[in-house]
Amino acid sequence: MADKIDVMFTEEQITEKIKELGAQISKDYAGKEVTLICILKGASVFTCELAKRITIPVKFEFMQVSSYGDETESSGVVKILQDLDEPIRGKNVIVCEDVIDSGRTMHYLLKVLEQREPATLKLCSLLDKPDRRVVDVDIDYTGFSIPDEFIVGYGLDYAQKYRNLPYIGIVTLDK
């Protein structure tokens, strides 16, 4: 049997929200260039769609960090699996994440990136789960605030499944 998935946000709702985020970033950085750091793998779909809606020059960088593995709960241990290819010193950097949950991973990652001396460092997350927060993290650009549910789709996965769904849904695991 398959896991049950109930739609939380449709593809159309997500697209509209990303347009809003792109417009705000374009306004905030008018006349400047930004470097988007896509946090792999989950934020890849979101980052690509966001970049298409930003009207100023954009560069891409990628990082892969993990604190989940194949589990539904964060282990609390953050590992950098893939680091940036280029230095970010003096650049306007926006970290793009799929979901901010406990805050542990992003808190750690932002401290690492701050040490690399970007001109600006902002955080953009498609989803925010404030009820799960155990470490404070300031999110500069937020798509949707959501309850404490395990979600998949639009880049988000469970054990590498469901990233390809064009919507975000709540998954009930078949056990």
Domain ranges of the chain: 10-150
Q: Of these residues, 101, 140, 148, 174, which one is catalytic?
A: 101
Q: What is the pLDDT of residue 79?
A: 84
Q: What is the pLDDT of residue 174?
A: 67
Q: What is the pLDDT of residues 145-165, one digit of tens each?
A: 999 999 999 999 888 899 999
Tokens 């946090």 sit on residue: 39
Q: What is the pLDDT of residue 73?
A: 55
Q: What is the pLDDT of residues 105-147, one digit of tens each?
A: 899 999 999 999 999 999 999 999 999 999 999 999 999 999 9
| Amino acid of residue 148 | D
Per the omega criterion (within 30 degrees of 0), is the bond before 122 cis? Answer: no
Helix (H, G, I), strand (E, B) or coil at 153: strand
Residue 50 CA to residue 21 CA, distance in Å, equals: 7
Q: What is the pLDDT of residue 1?
A: 41
H or E stretch covering 14: helix 11-28
Q: What is the pLDDT of residues 16-71, one digit of tens each?
A: 999 999 999 999 999 999 999 999 999 999 999 999 999 999 999 999 987 755 55
What is the third-level CATH fold of 10-150? Answer: Rossmann fold (3.40.50)
- The mean per-residue pLDDT over the stretch 83-106 comes to 95
Residue 15 CA to residue 18 CA, distance in Å, equals: 5
- Residues contacting residue 57 through CB under 8 Å, at least 6 positions apart: 32, 33, 34
101 an active-site residue? yes
The band of 2, judged by pLDDT with boundaries at 50, 70 and 90, is low
Whole-structure pTM value: 0.91
With CA atoms as reference, report the closest residue to 144 among 170, 118, 110: 170
Alpha carbons within 13 angstroms on the beta-carbon side of residue 74 total 19
Whether 3 has a pLDDT exceeding 90, the answer reads no
Residue 125 CA to residue 69 CA, distance in Å, equals: 20
Residue 76 CA to residue 104 CA, distance in Å, equals: 6
Whether 7 has a pLDDT exceeding 90, the answer reads yes
